[in-house]
Chains A and B, each alone.
Chain A
Amino acid sequence: MTSKISTIAARLDKLYEFDREPVSPDKLQSGSKFAGLFAGEHVAATEFVIGAFFVLHGVTARDLVVGLLLGNLLAVLSWTFVCAPMAVRTRLTLYWYLRRIAGPGLTAIYNIANAVLYCILAGAMIAVSATAIGLAFNIKTPSLTDVFPTSVGWVLITISLGAAFTALAILGFEKLSKFAEVCSPWIFIVFIAGALATLPKLGVSPNFSNFWEVAKSQIWNGIAAEGQQKFGFWHILFFAWFCNLAMHIGLSDLAIFRYAKKWTYGLYTAFGMYPGHMLAWICSGIMVAGIGREMNPGLMAYEALGLAGVAGLMLAGWTTANPTLYRAGLALQTITPNWPRWKITLVAGTVTTVISCFPVVFLKLLDYVAIYGLVLMPIGAVVFAEHWILPKLKIEQYRAEKDNRLINGRALAVWVGTLVICFFLPIHLYFRWLPGYFIALVSYVLLQALGRNRK
Chain B
Amino acid sequence: MERKILALLAIVSLALCLIFPVVRFLGKIDAAGYKSGFFCASAAWFIFAALWITRPKKNN
One digit per residue, 1 when the CB lies within 8 angstroms of any chain A CB and 0 when it does not, for chain B 19-52 equals 0111011110001001110110010011001100
Determine if B25 and A199 form an interchain contact, defined as CB atoms under 8 angstroms apart: yes
Determine if B14 and A308 form an interchain contact, defined as CB atoms under 8 angstroms apart: no
Determine if A178 and B53 form an interchain contact, defined as CB atoms under 8 angstroms apart: yes
Tally of chain B residues near chain A (CB < 8 A): 23
Given contacts A186-B14, A305-B35, A308-B38, contact A197 B24 (CB under 8 A): yes
Determine if B24 and A189 form an interchain contact, defined as CB atoms under 8 angstroms apart: no
In the assembled complex, the Cα of A206 lies from the Cα of B28 at a distance in Å of: 10
Say if the beta carbon of A420 comes within 8 Å of chain B. Answer: no
Q: Smallest distance from the beta carbon of B13 to chain A beta carbons, Å?
A: 9
Chain A residues closer than 8 Å to B39, beta-carbon distance: 306-308
Given contacts A193-B17, A206-B27, contact A182 B38 (CB under 8 A): no
Determine if B46 and A182 form an interchain contact, defined as CB atoms under 8 angstroms apart: yes
Determine if B53 and A200 form an interchain contact, defined as CB atoms under 8 angstroms apart: no
| Max chain B Cβ within 10 angstroms of own Cβ: one of A185, A193, A197 | A193
Determine if A200 and B25 form an interchain contact, defined as CB atoms under 8 angstroms apart: yes
Residue of B nearest to A312 (CB): B42
Q: Smallest distance from the beta carbon of A32 to chain B beta carbons, Å?
A: 16
What is B's interface to A at a CB cutoff of 8 Å?
Answer: 14, 17-18, 20-22, 24-27, 31, 34-36, 38-39, 42, 45-46, 49-50, 53-54
Q: Smallest distance from the beta carbon of B34 to chain A beta carbons, Å?
A: 6
Determine if B24 and A200 form an interchain contact, defined as CB atoms under 8 angstroms apart: yes
Chain A residues closer than 8 Å to B22, beta-carbon distance: 196
In the assembled complex, the Cα of A194 lies from the Cα of B20 at a distance in Å of: 11
In the assembled complex, the Cα of A186 lies from the Cα of B24 at a distance in Å of: 18
Determine if A189 and B20 form an interchain contact, defined as CB atoms under 8 angstroms apart: no
| Max chain A Cβ within 10 angstroms of own Cβ: one of B20, B26, B38, B50 | B38
Chain A residues closer than 8 Å to B26, beta-carbon distance: 206
Determine if A192 and B42 form an interchain contact, defined as CB atoms under 8 angstroms apart: no
In the assembled complex, the Cα of A89 lies from the Cα of B48 at a distance in Å of: 41
Chain B residues closer than 8 Å to A306, beta-carbon distance: 35-36, 38-39
In the assembled complex, the Cα of A368 lies from the Cα of B17 at a distance in Å of: 33
Determine if B46 and A186 form an interchain contact, defined as CB atoms under 8 angstroms apart: yes
What is A's interface to B at a CB cutoff of 8 Å?
Answer: 178-179, 181-182, 185-186, 189, 192-194, 196-197, 199-200, 204, 206, 305-308, 311-312
Chain B residues closer than 8 Å to A194, beta-carbon distance: 21
Determine if A308 and B54 form an interchain contact, defined as CB atoms under 8 angstroms apart: no
Chain A residues closer than 8 Å to B34, beta-carbon distance: 197
Residue of B nearest to A182 (CB): B49
Sampled A-B contacts (6; CB under 8 Å) = A182-B45, A193-B38, A196-B24, A204-B25, A306-B38, A312-B42
Chain A residues closer than 8 Å to B17, beta-carbon distance: 186, 189, 193
Determine if B14 and A189 form an interchain contact, defined as CB atoms under 8 angstroms apart: yes
Residue of A nearest to B47 (CB): A182
Q: Smallest distance from the beta carbon of A218 to chain B beta carbons, Å?
A: 16
Residue of B nearest to A185 (CB): B14
Chain B residues closer than 8 Å to A196, beta-carbon distance: 21-22, 24-25
Given contacts A189-B14, A306-B38, A306-B39, contact A197 B49 (CB under 8 A): no
Given contacts A181-B53, A182-B50, contact A193 B14 (CB under 8 A): no
